[in-house]
Structure formats: C-alpha cells, structure tokens
Structure 1
C-alpha cells in the first residue's frame, strides 16, 4: 500500500511539467475513422468552447461503433447511444454504474454485469476491440474514458461473439493535438478522497508527435461493515504522424484495486424483498479481500492508402491477476422459530485467477461511389489459470447472525482448505467479416453485414487429471435500412442474429457441462426524429429478441449451471436529448421490457418455465437535466433513476425504486468547482437480486462529493 502514499508527490511534480494555458481544449473521441479524418476532426473539435448548448454538451452524432465506418447515427440501422465526457463529468461518474440512468434498457445486475434489454451480460470493448483488463468481478473506471458508446441489439455480424442485448464500447482518451491538462481533487463522505492529473498535448511544434500522461488514485471506507476500497490507475499514450496519411498510436494502462471486506454479497431479504437486517451488514470478515492488478497495451496504426481507401490495424494485449478471499453465505436459517431467517452458515473461498489475452483486429474501408465497403478480420486468444480452495462449516468456518454479527470469532488461516478447481484453459475465437453500406438514393440506405466466426477452446483439469476441448463455427449477419422521409423523420429497421460460446471453464462436467453456444435473433424497428430546428432529438425503438441456451446457476447445486431452452425479450425504448432553451439541457430515456422464459430445458422447468427472467425490470425511466446561469458562470443539474419491480433467480421480489441526484457547478478563472449529491433522499433500496441466500444487492446510500478541477 506504500504506492498510494506517493500520490501527493506525483501530483506536485507533474503540475510543473507543462506551461500554464488559459483555455482548456477537448479531444476527439471518434473510432473507426481514417488517419486524415482523425487529425482533421481533432483540430476542429479541440477549439470548441462549451456555451451550455445541448448540441455541444450531450449530443454526439457518431455511429462508428455500430458500423465500424464514419457514419452518422441518423444513417445507422440500429439503436446507438453515445455518452460524452461532459455528461460523465456532470454526473460525477467514477465508473459505468453511475451512468445506467442515461442508457435506456440497461440496469445494474451485480459487479461488472448489467441487465441489457432483459439479459445479463458483461460484454465490452475498448476502442472497438476485445481485451477487458478488469475481468469478471470489477467495474471499469472512467478516468481514462472519453466516451461510452452503446450499441443496442446483437453485434455478432461485426464483433463476433456478443450478447443480444447490446455492446458497450469504451473510447479511451488519446494524445491531443493541443494542450489539454487538468488537475482534479475530490472528497466526500465515507472518507472518500481522490486525486488525478492528466497531461496531454504536442511534443513537437507541428504536433506530429503527441503524448498523454494520466494518474488517478482514490480511497474510501464504504458504509458496509469491514469494507475499505482503494483504486489506482496510470494511463499513458504516444501518437506520431509517420506521414500525412499514417498515424501510429501507442497506449499503456495499469490498474490496481484492493477491496477489503469483499467480495461483496447482498443484504438478506424475505421473499417480498424486505430487508432482514441493517444495510451495513456484511458476511465478510475484515481480512477478506478482492484484489486486481492489470496492465493493458494497445497499438493502433491508421493509414489512408488513397482518397477512397483507408485501413487500420489494432493490437491489444493485457495480463491481470484477480485474488479473492471471502466468506460466502450458504443458508438462510431461522434460529428462534419465529418464521424469519436470522442466521447464515458460510463457506470460505480462496480464488486465484491469472489471465493473459491478446487480440489483433484489421479493417479496410473503401468508398466506392454509392457503396461503403468494409472488410475486416479479428483474432482473440485468452489463457487462464484458475486455482480455487474452499472450506465449509466442518472445516472450521463459523456462520454469522443477521441481527448481531460477530466478526473475528475465527481466523481463516485455521480453516481446513480443500481443492475445488485447478485448471488451465485456452480460449480462441476468430472471425472474418464484410459489410456493404449502399446509398441507393440520398434518402435511402441499405446495410448488409456478415461474419464467419468460430471458437476453439481447450481446458486442462489438473485436479481430475483430464483434458477436454470444444470448437464450433457459425455465420452471423445483420440486414438493415434507414430512410429520410424529411428533415424531421428518419425511420430504420434491422434483422440480426448472434452466437456466444459458453465460457470454457463452464464446460467442465463438474460445472454441469458441456453446453451448446448461446444463439439469438432480433428484429428492431425505430424512428429518429429531429424538431425545433434540430434542437430536440427524439428516438423511438421497438425490438423482439429470442435467445437460447442461457446458463443460470442451478438452484439445487450452486457449483453447477443449467441451460434454459428459450427466453424471449421484447420491448420499447425512447431517448430524448434536447436544448429546451439556450441554457437548459435535457437527457431523458424510458424503456419497457418484457422478458420471460418460454421453453425451459427438461428437468428444470419447475424452476423457470413461464417465469419472468431474473433481474429484468419491466419499466425504467432515467432523467438528467442541466440549467446554466451564464451571468454567474454556474450550472445546476438534477437527475432521477426509476427502476420497476424485478425478481431474483429463485423468485425473490426486488422492489421498485426511484433515486434522485443533484449537482452544482461553478467556474472561477481556470478552476471548476462541483458539488454532487447522489441518492438525495437517502433511500434504502436494492438494485438487483441473485439467489435468496446471497440476498439482494443494495444501492448506495446518500453520497456527497465536492470536486475542484484546475485546467491549464
């Protein structure tokens, strides 16, 4: 932990590395563009001064995530949402969970998972390519993120294995053509403190070489018993224009996280969703922890071969280690006979995951008269070593009371540990894809995408002294069209399918496997509308998704999974971004979703068939609005997040909730001061459920943050 103490010195030293600039510039966050376009767009964007208008604050017309080509959203036959840096900063967001209110159809599941159009998933990309260094149990921090791009629906036609609900793409901050430097200090309740510094700009007079250096660190003591949280991120980048048509960008990010009292489970509830104990309750001892250390490396080469043909190649590699030592609830026991559970037995779990993974992605984009052709290829390989020991009650683990938890009764070092899993796995997936965007008329576009992809997985089970392998291939496709009726109305429709191979570790017979890959199909129809001289953008979408072979925890044996036969999701979404007045911005979204199990696999229909899918709320409403007081260089913001009733995997009710936030900003010279209050009325609620014995995952209590940002 000594490294955490070095932050003040690092901030002090770094602040003297660059001269002071009065105006702070922003950088482009476009993906999928050519080298010359990127440089041109950067020069334009970097000199924009925000005046409180919606079009320069929250609205981004970039559909490159959906099509991997520089295409406006209005010509993209699929729902796309882009959350820019300004919205991230206004909401005081430190990780993606703070932004779910601004993404229609997305709600929190647990840890890094979300519910996306009714389905649980954690499928993400960085700059459009595979390689998530945060792993399965940690949520990506937003310190080095320029934009959060959200593609709704299956993405398999271009991105390969992907969940049908959608895809989240994190656009990272790149070295900028003009100086873009800031120092940020933040403090809040629960002993929260953080500091960060970002330095970016040209290294040469002509800006043909550029750099970025960023450092972030925080610490807090969350309100639940025995918890302590520390995060540190170092982010560096170097870009060089090799010539006027070629740019090479190199990036390195190192992340360290230490969560004491974790891995966090939920708060126990009864079947109606009523909490059975204090919101501070925790099944973990103070010595329990989750720890992550990860480093990612990325290199991207953009090259314009001529005026109509451009290419890009991205190499991404990461390695990480996830250590977890935690107590797991295993029962809900009524010790006094009053009919209410008040005690749980526990397991102790010691898990060590080591991962290294790499991907190479190459694209060529050709502009041929009325056709934009994309041809690409992708290869991804991940290696994992997983070591898992466990102790139960008979091995010295003591249970814990809901009403009067006694910690430190036993020492985990005294437990008799038993080996559960010792595996080495290698997962390879690959794909070749092609896409044609045909501009039939100035108003009518038709897009067709297809991908041949597959996987080849192998797992060595050292405990059982056996090995197994799994492989398959498939063709994914997407067909869509957009039409411009007039300046106000832009309808679209699409049809797509998707495949997702099961995690190689889940294929073991000890986990209930092997299982067939997940398969999905989706039909979507939408309407994009623009009103009041383009100041109001209202988007509507309706979708129907069918997904097969979804793994869920077996309610009779939590070490195993069961595969559901077929789950159907259908719903409506509405997104509005508007400049209501010159100073008043509104971001509003609503989603209706109905996800039910239509055909449960033989043997588990008693638990699932005909039921609503776990953690899939029917109604969600998210609001974020900002009003600027130009005369005093200040702004006030207000937000709300409503999520309707849900159900856990074993049918426990998760009550509906509505949480309100507020923020105040004011500028003084080159300083920005900001106050954010989250969960304004300190509501006690759960964001989701899992299994009854684990409880429901509580939302944050009231959090108050004060931030000071110095731009130079």
Structure 2
C-alpha cells in the first residue's frame, strides 16, 4: 500500500457531481421481494415512503403490521442526501449514532439504541448474512436500506441486540432505465456511476447493472480513496408463477491516511504518569495517521433465488448467497500518553478473509379457520461463517512509528511493514435453523403474532496447524410474541416481546486473555408502540426495554462477561407537510442505559457509547417560483457518551447542521437532477466513540455536488 503524493483538485463541475443511487422503476412481479416508492415530486414525504420491508422469519410486512420499530431509506432519499456511508444514510433517525468514519478511519459504523452492531452477524443483503468487518458497502447498488431496531433473534438468528441492517439490491426494471451520475466531494473526490436496467424483447429475461468509480483526495489532510464497484442482477420468468434470479457484486476500496482509532494510554494497558483524559476535539480535516497507513478491502458476493407462486394463497422461495471479504490493513493507532497531546503511533499490518455461505427455504401461506385468518411463515436456514487470519504473529507486521504531539503532528518514515497474505482458518461457525410464525387476524382491528425459532449453533476454533483449540455448541429456542390493535386502518398500536442470542466477543490483543472467545450472550426485549401513516403525515412512538449480557475489559485488563446492561428508552419519529411546499421531519430518543448486577467498579455506571438524548430535524421547502427546485436544512444533536465501561471519561455532546438543494430540469429529452449538499456547515469539531475505548474524529465541513442524467 503506497502513499500517493499527488492531489486531485476539483474541476469546473463543482456544482454537478457526486452521489449515485438514482431512483428505480421496480419490477412489479408479485414474486419480487423488492418494494419501491413512487417517484412523484409532488411530495417528498410520499416519495420517501416504502410500502413494506423484509422482516426475516416474519416475511415481508407493511410498516403498520410490524410490531417493532423500523426505518427504511429509499435509493431516492440516499441520492438526495448524497449519503456515502451507512452513518449518513440514517443520520435523521435519532436512534442511530455514528461511531466510525470511513474516510479517516477503518469504516463507517452505527450504534442503534446505544448498542453497536456486530459487523459479522447484523448485516444482511436481501435478508441473508454477509460480512462487513471494517468495510463499507457501496450504497449505489441498493434499492433501499432497511433498519430493524432492537432484538432480531427470531427473525434472523444470532446477532447483537442493537438491530439489523438489511440492504436490498437493485433488481431488473420493467421499463428501460438508463442513468449516469457524475459527482464531487471535497477535498477532491470525483465519482462516476452508471445504472441501467430493463427487459429483453420477450420480457422473460430482465437485467440491472451498476458500475461506479470513485477516486481522489479526501477531506482529511494526506487522505486518499480509490473505489471500483460493479453489480449485476438478472432474472428469468420461467413461467408466470416461477422466477429465477441471480446477482453478483464486486467492490474494491483502497484508503490511504486512515487510522484505527485514538486510544487513551491507560485504556490499552500502557504505563502513563497520570490517567489521560479525552483531549479537545480536533478538526476533522487534520491528519492524525501517517500518510502511508491505510487499508484495502475487496468484497465479492453472489446469490441466486427461486421464487414460486404456488397458488393465490401460498408461495415459496429458495435462496442461496455466498460472500467473500478480504482485507489488507496497514492502518495505525494513536496512543495518547499525556494530557498535553503527547502520542505514540503504532502501525499494524494484517490480512483477513471472511467467507460466508447462507441458504434458506421459506414457505408463506394464508388460510382461514372459521372467521379467523392466519398468515403463516415457515422455513429452514443454514449458514456457515469462516474467519481466516494471518498465520504469523502480530509483531511480524507491526512497527512503532514514533512519538509526537497531536496538535503538531509528526511525519514519520515509512517502515514498509510486510505482512504475509497467507492465512489459516481461525474459526468456523455453523448455524442450522427451523422457524415458524403465525399472524392470527381475529378481525380488522385485532391480531397477534406467535413465532418460534430453533437455532443449532456450533463454533470451532483452530490454531495455525489446523488443530482444534476450542469448541462451543448451543441449541436455543427463541420466541417472539406480539399483539397489534388497529383502531382505524391508518393507525396501529402494538406490544411485543422477543429474545435473542449474540455470539460472544473475542478478547482484544491487549487483554490478559487475548484472543479468547467467550460464550454467547442472551438478551430480552419488551416494546410497546404506536404508528400512524396518512397522506400528509406519519409518525411513530416506541417505549422499549432491553436486557443484555455485559462484556468488558476489567481493571485487571481481562476481557470478561459480568452482569448485564439495561437499555430503556423512548423513541419519537414524525414527518408532516406543515404547509404548502413545506415538509418537516423530526426524530428524538431518550435513553437510560445502565450496567446492573455487575462488578462494583462498573455497577450502576452508564453503558459506554450510549447517549442519554439524541435528536434530529429536517425541513424541506419546494420553491414555488422555480419549478422543481427544493431547498432543505437539517440538524442532528448527539448527547455526551461514556468512553469506557467505568465512565472515567465522557465524550462531549455535539450538534451538526446541514444544508442542501435539489433542482430537476430537462435537457435534450434527458431528465437532469442537480444536487448540492453542505454537511457540518459550522465545521463542528467532535469525537465519535466505539468499543469502550476508541475515539475517532468526526467528519469536517464537506461539500457534495452531483449531476444525474436519466435517459
């Protein structure tokens, strides 16, 4: 991985570039699992809504029929926000907190309800597992991104209790679709994207192809990114009731000048004269990592699906997906050694490979017993996860670069650390599942959901010789129960209970039990809420309580499971057309996250990384004097967060402001959409927190511009 000394500069089209994810005209075949909103420009509110989302073992359901809190962001909204990272996709949802930066750090990342997602278990593509360790998926190739908040044990099996992010791939369109987008992002990132879809003459075969190239200097001093993405999805209508589809995705992303995180010396077990405190936040454009540090991630996914409409009451789906992610990293960590800004930089070289295979067969049906209606979902699933790591010691690919002060960064010499790409199978996890649910509709107002999932979980760990070092197996049954009441068609009230198991953590390298894998943790969630959806407004409120097993590095520097963390809170979300041409959206979360039944030094302390309060608001104005011109402004507030389990350091709160404009016109029979966004208008300096000991810079003021041409 080499540092490129050249600097790409913005060209003359600084008002016409960036972002992809153009809107799609989706296949309306009844067997398709893709649901897309209309493209009408008469209402931003309507164009951002989705009719249904995927909920795993509950099947596809409308928002009002889902007894859990969820959010779905369409490709159009992603394009209008010019989102490039998952944290930007959900920035207007107060339940979602960013903890990573994919341009200055390893990757973008989010916490939900104060809990970080597990990058190896909590991310899906079309409902099937895929790894995103230290990686960002290319948003341009997805129709929508769905977020299920809270526990998901019944719906998806093992996973951290924060929630599930499900990426829905773009699928063939019925009408011919051709779109090209040119984009720019400060300080000098240029992007070109193409999106084409349609059907061949006989309408039996459909296709959708996306290609993206992104390259240039990031907003971080000496930062550089290069990305290449290609995706393809095709289907064949074997008969009107039987559709076979295949898809593939390739994404390669290279970043220079990236770091793992800023770490207070004592949190890593380093000797310090006195405990180091969180320093004042740095400008997001300031270089922290040496220019030659960074990483490169390659991501390959292939899947196939057979959907069969047996009759009007029953349909079946058989799916398989294979994912391969390999990652070469030579990023560094910044260890703060005193309270004056002194630091040491340590570079790690590593190479890892994650291979996933997932297969699922699902049957959905409707039947009646007298006046009672049943919506049945049943299925079987199999998943294998292989984690491969270097077959040499950490020290072989690491180097201490030197010491300096974060307020006057030092340029160190590149040690050209070498890390072999030879790996060994470190762990294999196999899950076999049976699941079934029954949505019982007593009448138009009352319904219940009863569901059970049996999950056989087997994990084996190996050493570099292939010998088994440890094994773990468990066969839990995770239930879900829910009651839904609809006083009118547009409103639903619900209460639900769900359980979940998550894979136990692995002790970090600085712990006394480094690399030890701990057993799975059990969580429980109780939630009550209300949802409403009318033509000109919609909203939701949810009260929740989650009990989760607690893992942390204790005062003896040992990674342990001790006690539990209780998360309880209130979420409010709403969108409304307040007046002609004015649309307002808002979101708030109050969260009480506390460690209970734990050892004395952390019992009663706040859960690390969880803000007590978070809020966002966004207003959009359609200018009546200029047809197809929209202006918008937004704000996001994130409360302070504990950095460590013992709350010895608290990261301050921060507020971000955004501005944007969108203009649609026509040129030579081509629809043209121009977008301009300014994120972090005031250039707020702030810290992101993660993993109970890591700080990352927040992103600086950023200009994004794009021109989308639909032919």
Q: Which bin holds the TM-score, normalised by the shorter protein? A: 0.7 to 0.9
Which of residues 114, 117, 124 is equivalent to 1:121? Answer: 117
User: How many angstroms apart in 1 are the aligned matches of 2:530 and 2:283?
Assistant: 46
**What is the aligned partner in structure 2 of residue 526 from structure 1?**
529
User: How many angstroms apart in 1 are the aligned matches of 2:212 and 2:317?
Assistant: 30
User: How many angstroms apart in 2 are the aligned matches of 1:271 and 1:551?
Assistant: 23
Structure 2 residue matching 1:545: 3-state secondary structure: strand
Instruction: Judge conservation of contact 1:363–1:374 (CA < 8 Å) in 2.
Output: yes
Which of residues 152, 156, 172 is equivalent to 1:155? Answer: 152
Give how far 1:357 is off. 1.4
**What is the aligned partner in structure 2 of residue 499 from structure 1?**
501
Matches within 5 A, 1:40-439: 48-65=38-55, 68-110=58-100, 111-122=107-118, 123-132=122-131, 135-205=132-202, 207-266=203-262, 273-275=278-280, 279-330=284-335, 332-334=336-338, 340-369=339-368, 370-387=373-390, 389-391=393-395, 397-409=401-413, 411-413=415-417, 424-439=426-441
**What is the aligned partner in structure 2 of residue 612 from structure 1?**
606
Residues 361 and 555 of structure 1: CA distance in aligned 2, closer, same or farther (over 3 Å): farther
Give how far 1:56 is off. 2.6
Instruction: Judge conservation of contact 1:301–1:314 (CA < 8 Å) in 2.
Output: yes
User: How many angstroms apart in 1 are the aligned matches of 2:354 and 2:402?
Assistant: 32
Give how far 1:226 is off. 3.4
User: How many angstroms apart in 2 are the aligned matches of 1:319 and 1:447?
Assistant: 36
1:10-54 deviation digits (Å, cap 9, x = unpaired): xxxxxxxxxxxxxx9733499xxxx63539x98xx69x5513314
Moved more, 174-183 or 384-393: 384-393
| Unmatched segments (≥5 aa) in structure 1 | 5-23, 335-339
Residues 319 and 418 of structure 1: CA distance in aligned 2, closer, same or farther (over 3 Å): closer
Instruction: Judge conservation of contact 2:264–2:277 (CA < 8 Å) in 1.
Output: no
Which of residues 421, 437, 443 is equivalent to 1:441? Answer: 443
Is residue 2:620 matched to residue 1:633? Answer: no
**What is the aligned partner in structure 1 of residue 17 from structure 2?**
none
Instruction: Judge conservation of contact 1:390–1:420 (CA < 8 Å) in 2.
Output: no
Give how far 1:141 is off. 2.5
Structure 2 residue matching 1:157: 3-state secondary structure: helix
Instruction: Judge conservation of contact 1:36–1:244 (CA < 8 Å) in 2.
Output: no
Residues 223 and 535 of structure 1: CA distance in aligned 2, closer, same or farther (over 3 Å): closer
Which of residues 462, 470, 473 is equivalent to 1:471? Answer: 473
Structure 2 residue matching 1:632: 3-state secondary structure: coil
Residues 113 and 511 of structure 1: CA distance in aligned 2, closer, same or farther (over 3 Å): farther
**What is the aligned partner in structure 2 of residue 17 from structure 1?**
none
Give how far 1:496 is off. 0.9
Residues 200 and 410 of structure 1: CA distance in aligned 2, closer, same or farther (over 3 Å): closer
Aligned residues: 662
Residues 225 and 554 of structure 1: CA distance in aligned 2, closer, same or farther (over 3 Å): farther
Matches within 5 A, 1:679-698: 679-688=680-689, 694=694, 696-698=695-697
Moved more, 633-642 or 65-74: 65-74
User: How many angstroms apart in 1 are the aligned matches of 2:433 and 2:397?
Assistant: 48
Alignment RMSD:
3.1
Structure 2 residue matching 1:143: 3-state secondary structure: helix
Instruction: Judge conservation of contact 2:281–2:685 (CA < 8 Å) in 1.
Output: no
Give how far 1:279 is off. 4.6
Instruction: Judge conservation of contact 1:445–1:483 (CA < 8 Å) in 2.
Output: yes
User: How many angstroms apart in 1 are the aligned matches of 2:254 and 2:507?
Assistant: 25
Instruction: Judge conservation of contact 1:54–1:579 (CA < 8 Å) in 2.
Output: no
**What is the aligned partner in structure 2 of residue 624 from structure 1?**
618
Instruction: Judge conservation of contact 1:347–1:390 (CA < 8 Å) in 2.
Output: no
Give how far 1:63 is off. 4.3
Instruction: Judge conservation of contact 1:77–1:481 (CA < 8 Å) in 2.
Output: yes
1:468-493 deviation digits (Å, cap 9, x = unpaired): 22111101111001111235642110
Structure 1 residue matching 2:40: 3-state secondary structure: coil
TM-score by length of 1: 0.86
| Unmatched segments (≥5 aa) in structure 2 | 5-21, 101-106, 266-274
Residues 61 and 610 of structure 1: CA distance in aligned 2, closer, same or farther (over 3 Å): same
Give how far 1:211 is off. 0.5
**What is the aligned partner in structure 1 of residue 595 from structure 2?**
597
**What is the aligned partner in structure 2 of residue 709 from structure 1?**
708
Structure 2 residue matching 1:635: 3-state secondary structure: strand
Instruction: Judge conservation of contact 2:31–2:309 (CA < 8 Å) in 1.
Output: no
User: How many angstroms apart in 2 are the aligned matches of 1:358 and 1:285?
Assistant: 37
Instruction: Judge conservation of contact 2:241–2:309 (CA < 8 Å) in 1.
Output: yes
**What is the aligned partner in structure 2 of residue 13 from structure 1?**
none
Residues 259 and 179 of structure 1: CA distance in aligned 2, closer, same or farther (over 3 Å): same
User: How many angstroms apart in 2 are the aligned matches of 1:647 and 1:664?
Assistant: 36
Matches within 5 A, 1:577-588: 577-588=575-586
Structure 1 residue matching 2:55: 3-state secondary structure: helix
1:291-331 deviation digits (Å, cap 9, x = unpaired): 1011100111110111211001111001121111133234x
1:108-129 deviation digits (Å, cap 9, x = unpaired): 1233442211212131111111
Structure 2 residue matching 1:87: 3-state secondary structure: helix
